[in-house]
């Protein structure tokens, strides 16, 4: 990549960050406000200027937030094109931009604002610089006559006024956040209170008023004792005094269980999480209060502290197994549900164990809330939970419970500044039909859980006898794959990618095959799931990268015209932190230029949506490696990925191409993807082209590259080499060749 291209990429990324910063203020395009009008008026008076205004620069427009004089000189203060504004030049530097005479400055002599209304001859603008260093717009003064001087004193004053504008913008953003926070506070089901240092209630949300039986106004300004049982008030008052006297750190972040008092005098157990913050009035105490009456009733017959999981407070494995075996001895019907979180390891690895622990604690509160009263929930270890349903022998009842758990996990969990989504897979089994004892019943539920995971997670499966055989077969496949990896049984086949305008070969996708010693050549569908569900994904993924680079080098050494080779990545490769080094080493080892390699990522990778994955992909792209989004348009993350990920190629899924000529919806979606890709400067590759008619339509729609049986199946490297060498002009692929279609 040239220095100029690198500089352009840096500037583009900086502009993206600047626009994001502007968006956080939610101010561009909003109505005039007195606070900004006053600053514009002050600037006009201070500098004796007929024109003064506050402008904000977004991607395409200049927005006037406040102005003096523009409407008097015939200029509509509506948004104008960014390119024609003086302020576009102002935000290129932290310094003021001063133009003594626009007609004598070659940069602005032909500017429409100088030649036409408001006929600006003099301009001075100070950039609006945020605390993070982003220049979002400018505070400007202008005159219709030139000015020879704009002294340092005036420059400082204009810069100070610009800083005042930024202060007001920041204050405005905080006010909007407070309004939003109030909306959130009243939307949550948790009771929220804020207590002043005088021990009075400063804030109570609607959930708090409902919990304690008061109206909102009845609670505000009242002593905190209002919700404390009389026998406990002295201790609570003393505790508040200690907190405000300097013991705040001892309670911040703590969760305690106490009795609270309602308006009617009734008491109920509550869980209170405390926090302390400071404002101009000194320290304040915050309380998040949860009514745990139902939980206390459920827990009444369960374990004492010695039988609880230390992290979550749930029943631990030892006590759970005792309960399970007791129920077996009594001959009662029962069900067990094994719950395993999807993606928990990635959360632990990327955000740390403290966040992972907090997530487990939150779910240990959320899941029991949807269980039947007699249910027992335990933590077996790690991110695996188990639910015991005594007296439940009905598979429909067990499935309903599993469905309720999955629904409870659908809502995100907020841990500090992180918003986490914790899906789960569930396997369940019934006694006595699925197990002669507790150990066998848990094993059956584990087989069902394994099936749920194998099918993609986020679902519940009941045990069936064939699952034991399927699990054993999967383990056998994984063992055989490990031997295949070390025994040179894995091979890559290459499917051509053809330019739809020139007919030339521009790329080939490397597709994994298994040359099994007994079963012959196996396609990925027979073994790829076994790789994805095991640690094999890492060594196999590394082998694919190395083999693809080795073949690229071989083709180049043979003098064939260069074309790119696409290699598919496993999502597990993004979680190790080593992918960038692996790719760099493979390229260096075989002396392959980065642009010759294209790495294909799937929606599973995009949906991880964490900083490590994004950083890895950006680092790969910065090396010059191409990044393709495989099966674009079939999932949930496609559009958002175009903004976040530095892609070079969109691969249109074969499901749209196959019915392109018969289904209007598929044609419309394909057209939209191609147009969007072209507008964003991305290559578009249509997969699954099987007919000339599909090729003609895709070419007419502007698709750049085609791939499919119409041009050839995936074939060994030697077969592709031979077919290329046989052409009169190497690389020409003007029409499909029967020999090519049949190859491999």
DSSP 8-state symbol, 573: G
Whether 601 and 569 have beta carbons less than 8 Å apart is answered as yes
* Fold adopted by 2-179: Beta-Lactamase (3.30.450)
Per DSSP, which regions of 361-410 are E strands? 376-381, 384-390
pLDDT at 150: 93
- What does the alpha-carbon distance between residue 549 and residue 591 come to, in Å, rounded to a whole number? 8
pLDDT at 51: 94
* Fold adopted by 310-463: Alpha-Beta Plaits (3.30.70)
- What does the alpha-carbon distance between residue 385 and residue 142 come to, in Å, rounded to a whole number? 68
- Please classify residue 83 by burial: count the beta carbons closer than 10 Å to its beta carbon, then call 0-12 exposed, 13-18 middle and 19+ buried: exposed
The helix (H) or strand (E) run that includes residue 62 is: strand 61-68
3-state secondary structure at position 129: strand
Alpha helix (H) ranges present in 149-205?
152-187
pLDDT at 298: 74
The helix (H) or strand (E) run that includes residue 328 is: helix 317-330
Q: How many CB atoms lie within 10 A of CB 58?
A: 17
CATH class of the domain at 188-296: alpha beta
Q: Take residue 469 and report the two structure tokens written for it.
A: 């055989």
Alpha helix (H) ranges present in 383-465?
395-408, 438-454
Q: What does each C-alpha distance from 285 to 64, 268, 414, 739 come to in angstroms?
A: 42, 22, 20, 78
Given 3-state DSSP classes, what are the helix, strand and coil percentages for the chain, each rounded to the nearest 5?
A: 45, 25, 30
pLDDT at 604: 66
| Cα 601 to the center of its chain, rounded Å | 15
Q: Where are the domains of the chain?
A: 2-179, 188-296, 310-463, 477-726
Architecture of domain 477-726: Alpha-Beta Barrel (3.20)
Any residues with CB less than 8 A from the CB of 22 and at least 6 apart, and which? 28, 56, 57, 58, 134, 136, 137
Residues of the chain with pLDDT under 70: 1-6, 73-77, 177-187, 246-253, 278-282, 299-306, 349-350, 470-471, 603-604, 606-611, 633-641, 727-744
Helix pair 692-700, 664-679: axis angle to 10 deg: 50
pLDDT at 180: 52
DSSP 8-state symbol, 562: P
pLDDT at 743: 36
Among candidate residues 480, 565, 466, 585, the one with its CA nearest the CA of residue 526: 480
Domain 188-296 in the same topology as domain 2-179: yes
The helix (H) or strand (E) run that includes residue 45 is: helix 34-46
Handedness of CA 258, 263, 267, 270 (dihedral sign): negative
Q: Take residue 238 and report the two structure tokens written for it.
A: 């003393």
């Amino acid at each position: 990549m040239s220095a100029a291209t690198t500089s352009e990429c840096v500037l583009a990324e900086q502009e993206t960050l600047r626009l994001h910063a502007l968006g956080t203020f939610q101010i561009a395009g909003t109505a005039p406000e007195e606070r900004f009008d006053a600053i514009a008026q002050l600037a006009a008076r201070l500098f004796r200027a007929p024109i003064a205004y506050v402008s904000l620069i977004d991607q395409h427009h200049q927005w006037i937030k406040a102005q003096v004089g523009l409407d008097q000189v015939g200029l509509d203060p509506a948004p104008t094109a960014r390119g024609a504004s003086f302020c576009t030049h102002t935000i290129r530097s932290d310094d003021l931009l001063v133009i003594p005479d626009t007609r004598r400055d070659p940069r602005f002599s032909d500017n429409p604002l100088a030649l036409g209304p408001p006929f600006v001859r003099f301009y001075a603008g100070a950039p609006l610089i945020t605390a993070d260093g982003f220049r979002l717009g400018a505070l400007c003064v202008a005159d219709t006559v030139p000015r020879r001087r704009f002294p340092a004193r005036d420059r400082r004053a204009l810069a100070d006024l610009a800083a005042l504008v930024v202060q007001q913008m920041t204050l405005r953003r905080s006010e909007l956040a407070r309004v939003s926070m109030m909306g959130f506070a009243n939307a949550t089901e948790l009771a929220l209170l804020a207590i002043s240092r005088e021990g009075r209630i400063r804030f109570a949300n609607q959930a708090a008023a409902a919990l304690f039986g008061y109206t909102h106004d009845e609670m505000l300004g009242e002593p905190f004792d209002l919700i404390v049982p009389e026998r406990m008030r002295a201790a609570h008052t003393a505790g508040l005094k200690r907190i405000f006297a300097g013991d705040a750190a001892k309670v911040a972040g703590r969760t305690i269980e106490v009795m609270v008092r309602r308006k009617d005098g009734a008491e109920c157990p509550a869980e209170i999480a405390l926090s302390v913050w400071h404002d101009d009035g000194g320290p304040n105490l915050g309380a998040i209060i949860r009514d745990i009456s139902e939980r206390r009733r459920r827990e009444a017959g369960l374990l004492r502290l010695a039988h609880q999981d230390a992290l979550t407070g749930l029943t631990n494995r030892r006590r759970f197994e005792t309960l399970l075996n007791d129920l077996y001895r009594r001959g009662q019907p029962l069900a067990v549900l094994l719950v395993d979180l999807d993606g928990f390891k990635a959360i632990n690895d990327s955000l740390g164990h403290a966040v992972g622990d907090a997530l487990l604690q939150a779910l240990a509160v959320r899941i029991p809330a949807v269980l039947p009263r007699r249910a027992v929930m335990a933590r077996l270890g790690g991110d695996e939970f188990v639910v015991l349903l005594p007296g439940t022998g009905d598979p429909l009842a067990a499935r309903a419970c599993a469905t309720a758990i999955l629904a409870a996990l659908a809502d995100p969990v907020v841990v500090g500044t992180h918003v986490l989504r914790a899906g789960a897979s569930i396997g369940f089994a019934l006694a006595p039909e699925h197990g002669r004892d507790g150990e066998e019943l848990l094993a059956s539920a584990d087989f069902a859980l394994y099936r749920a995971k194998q099918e993609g997670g986020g679902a519940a499966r009941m045990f069936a006898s064939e699952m034991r055989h399927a699990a054993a077969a999967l383990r056998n496949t994984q063992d055989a794959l490990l031997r295949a990896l070390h025994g040179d049984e894995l091979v890559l086949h290459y499917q051509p990618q053809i330019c739809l305008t020139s007919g030339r070969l521009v790329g080939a996708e490397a597709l994994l095959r298994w040359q099994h010693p007994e079963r012959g050549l196996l396609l990925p569908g027979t073994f790829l799931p076994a790789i994805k569900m095991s640690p094999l994904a890492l060594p196999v993924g590394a082998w694919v990268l190395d083999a693809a680079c080795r073949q690229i080098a071989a083709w180049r050494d043979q003098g064939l015209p260069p074309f790119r080779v696409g290699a598919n990545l496993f999502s597990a490769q993004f979680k190790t932190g080593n992918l960038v080094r692996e790719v760099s080493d493979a390229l260096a080892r075989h002396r392959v230029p980065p642009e010759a390699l294209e790495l294909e990522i799937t929606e599973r990778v995009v949906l991880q949506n964490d900083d490590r994955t994004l950083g890895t992909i950006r680092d790969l792209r910065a090396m010059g490696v191409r990044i393709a989004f495989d099966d674009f348009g079939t999932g949930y993350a496609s559009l958002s990925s175009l903004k976040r990920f530095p892609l070079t190629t969109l691969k249109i899924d074969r499901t749209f191409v196959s019915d392109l000529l018969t289904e209007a919806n598929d044609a419309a979606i394909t057209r939209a993807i191609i147009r969007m890709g072209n507008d964003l400067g991305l290559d578009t590759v249509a997969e699954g082209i099987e007919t000339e008619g599909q090729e003609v339509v895709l070419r007419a729609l502007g698709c750049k590259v085609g791939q499919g049986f119409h041009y050839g199946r995936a074939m060994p490297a030697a077969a592709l080499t031979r077919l290329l060498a046989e052409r009169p002009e190497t690389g020409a692929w003007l029409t499909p060749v029967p020999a090519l279609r049949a190859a491999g």
